[in-house]
Amino acid sequence: MDNRSHQNIELVDGSCIAVIGGGPSGSFFSYFALEFASRFDLEIDIDIYEAKNFSKIGAGGCNHCGGIISESLVQKLSTAGIVIPSEIIQRGIDSYTMHAEQGAAIIKTPSNEQRIAAVFRGGGPKGCLDTSQRSFDNFLLGLCEEKGARIIAEKISQMERQEDGILVKSKRLGDKKYDLVVGAVGLNKKTLDLFGSLCPRFKAPKITRTYISEFFFEKTTVDKYFNDSMHVFLLNIPNVTFGALIPKENYVTLVLLGKDIDKEVVANFISAEQVKGCFPKNLKLIDATPCKCYPFINVKGAIEPFDDRLVLVGDSASSKLYKNGIGAAYITGRAAAKTVIFEGISKKNFDEWYRPVCQDIDRDNTVGKFIFLITRIIQKSDFLKKGILHMVAQEQKKESRKRLMSSALWDTFTGSANYRDILLQFLHPLLLFNFLQSIIYSNIKRI
C-alpha cells in the first residue's frame, strides 16, 4: 500500500505552483486558484509555462480548436467576473442550420439569452493579414497576469519528485522547486509521459484524430452565405460523427469530429452537395484552405490524473465527448483550483474532491456515446432524417417552449447541457409522439 495516499499536504503562505500549459484549462486553474487564495487570505505564487505565443498567426499561436464557446459557459464566466471583450468574439451565433440529404432546417436559439461566441484561440489562421485580432487564449492568460501569475515563455524539459516538492527543469530558468505542479498540457504525449513518471497509476486519455480548416472570405461573403448561423450536417458519411461550418469575421471554420478522420474522409465530406451548397458556386473547397490540421481529441478520460503535489486538468484529464472542450477546461480547472486552495494538495485530497468531477464528466460521456450511436443510426436512415427535418420545421413556427426536438438538438450541437439532460429531452413522451407523427407524415406526403 502507498503510504503517501494517507498524507495531508496543504498550501501555505509563500507556496509556489507551476502550471504547465497556458491554454484554457491552465488559465482557468490559475485564475481561480489566485481568486480563491485571495478569499482565503493565502499568498501563493503561480508560474505558467507556455512556449506558444497565442498572438502569433498560424500554427505557432494556434491551439487547434474550432473556437466555439457555448452560451452556458459565457454565463458562467460572466458570473465569475470574466466578461469576454467584444473584439475577441469573431461572431455571435444565434441559429443552427441543419443539413441532410433530404433538405435543411433552421434551428433558432431557444431563448433570448447570450448567443454562442465564435473565437480564434490564437492570433488567426495561416495567411491572415489582420494582425489586430485578439486571441481568446491570450485574453485568459492576460487575466491570470493581472491577478499576479507569471508567464514563462518556454517548455519544461524534465520533472523530478523530491520529498518536499517537485523540481521542474527548463533551459532558461534552470531548476526550480514547486509545492504543486498542475498539468494543462492537452494531449502532448511527450509531456504526458513526464507526468506519468511521477504518477504511478496515471494512464493517458484515449484519443482519436479530427480535422479543422479555415476558409478565408470577405466579411460581406460570410454575411451573405452564413450570416450568424452555424451549419451542421447529418450526412451518411463514414467516420464522421459531427461536421460543422462555423462563421467568423472573415473566415469560416470547418470542424469534423468522428473516428480517425483522414484526407479521404475530408474529401468525401467537402464533396457532398449539401456542403458545397453552403459556399459560393465554383469554389474549389479542397484548394481553399491554407490553414488546416488533424488534431487529436480526448474520447475517454485519463485514469488517476493526480498524485501528491500533482494534478492534471482539461484534455489531459477529462473532457466533454466531441463538444465544449473549453467548457470542460473550465470545469476541471476550477475544480482543481478549489481543491488545492480549500482542501489540500495530497493524493488523498484530489481523490476525495477532484476525482468525482472527472468521473462525472466521464459518466456523462458514456451517455453521450449512446446518443451518438443513435445519431449514426439516424445518419444512415432517410426515413428518420425526413422525420427530424419535418418536425424541426414545424416546431420553428411555434413558441420556443414548445420546440422540444429543436431544443434537444440545440443542446446537442452546442454542448450547453450535459448528455444526461439531453437524453431526457429526447425521451420526453410528447417529443417521441410528435417525432413518430412527423416520420409518418414526411414519408407519406411531401413536406
Please tell me the predicted confidence (pLDDT) of residue 404. 94
Q: Provide the pLDDT confidence category of residue 61 given band limits of 50, 70 and 90.
A: confident
Question: Are 398 and 437 within one domain?
Answer: yes
Q: What percentage of the chain has pLDDT greater than the value 70?
A: 95
Determine the Cα–Cα distance for residues 435 and 161; give it in Å rounded to an integer: 58
> Do 272 and 221 share a domain, yes or no?
yes
- Are 178 and 139 within one domain? yes
Sequential DSSP letters for 129-166: --TTPPPHHHHHHHHHHHHT-EEE-S---EEEEETTEE
What pLDDT shows up at residue 2?
A: 47
Which amino acid type is present at position 37?
A: A
Non-local (6+) Cβ contacts of 102 within 8 A are 382, 385, 386, 389
Q: What is the C-alpha to C-alpha distance for residues 156 and 264, in angstroms, rounded to an integer?
A: 37
Q: Let me know whether 230 and 319 are in one domain.
A: no
Domain that holds residue 434: 374-444
Q: Specify if 171 maps to a domain.
A: yes
Is residue 74 domain-resident? no
Same domain as 224, residue 191: no
Whether residue 233 is contained in a domain is answered as yes
**pLDDT bracket for residue 130 (50, 70, 90):** low
**Of the candidates 317, 350, 367, which is a domain's last residue?**
367
Q: Is residue 329 part of a domain?
A: yes
For residues 404-422, average pLDDT: 91
- Asked whether residue 113 falls in the same domain as residue 239, the answer is yes
When comparing pLDDT for 283 and 126, which is higher? 283
The predicted-structure confidence for 429-446, as pLDDT tens digits, reads as follows 999 999 999 999 998 865
Average pLDDT for the chain? 91
Please indicate, yes or no, whether residues 251 and 218 belong to a single structural domain of this protein: yes
Q: What percent of the chain has pLDDT over 90?
A: 72
Would you state the pLDDT for residue 133?
61
> Would the pLDDT of 150 be above 80?
yes
Question: Domain check: are 175 and 253 in the same one?
Answer: no
Task: Taking residues 332-337, report their average pLDDT.
Answer: 98
Say yes or no: 290 and 212 in one domain: yes
pLDDT in tens, 78-120: 999 999 998 899 999 999 999 999 999 999 887 655 578 899 8
In a domain, 359, yes or no: yes
Among the candidates 312, 346, 367, a domain finishes at 367
* pLDDT(3) > 60: no
Query: Would 121 be classed as within a structural domain?
Result: yes
Based on the fold, state whether residues 102 and 46 are members of the same structural domain: no
Q: What is the mean predicted confidence (pLDDT) over 283-306?
A: 87
Of the candidates 72, 71, 85, 79, the one whose C-alpha atom is nearest the C-alpha of residue 32 is 79
For CA atoms 142, 316, 233, 410, the dihedral sign is: negative
Quick: pLDDT tens for 360-373. 999 999 999 999 99
CATH number, domain containing residue 199: 3.50.50.60
In this structure, are 148 and 237 located in the same domain?
no
Show which of 244, 273, 297 is a domain's final residue.
297
pLDDT given for residue 172 in this prediction: 82
Rounded-to-5 percentages of helix, strand, coil across the chain: 40, 25, 35
C-alpha cell at 115: 448567443
The x, y and z cell numbers of residue 339, run together, are: 481543491
Taking alpha carbons only, the member of 232, 283, 271, 314 closest to residue 65 is 314
Asked if 182 and 20 count as a contact pair (C-beta separation under 8 A), the reply is: yes
Residue 307 within any structural domain of the chain: yes
- pLDDT band of residue 129 (cuts 50, 70, 90) is low
* Residue 307 reports pLDDT greater than 60: yes
**What are the cell numbers at 42?**
493565502
Condensed to tens digits (0 to 9), the pLDDT of residues 165-205 reads: 999 999 888 999 999 999 999 999 999 999 999 998 999 99
Closest CA to 233 of 276, 173, 297, 175: 276
Ordered DSSP codes for 290-322 = SEEE--EEEEEPPB--EETTEEE-GGGT---SS
- Look at the chain and report how many structural domains it folds into: 3
Residue 288: give its domain's CATH number: 3.30.9
Q: What is the pLDDT of residue 30?
A: 98
Residue 3 lies in a domain: no
- My answer on whether 96 and 221 are in the same domain is yes
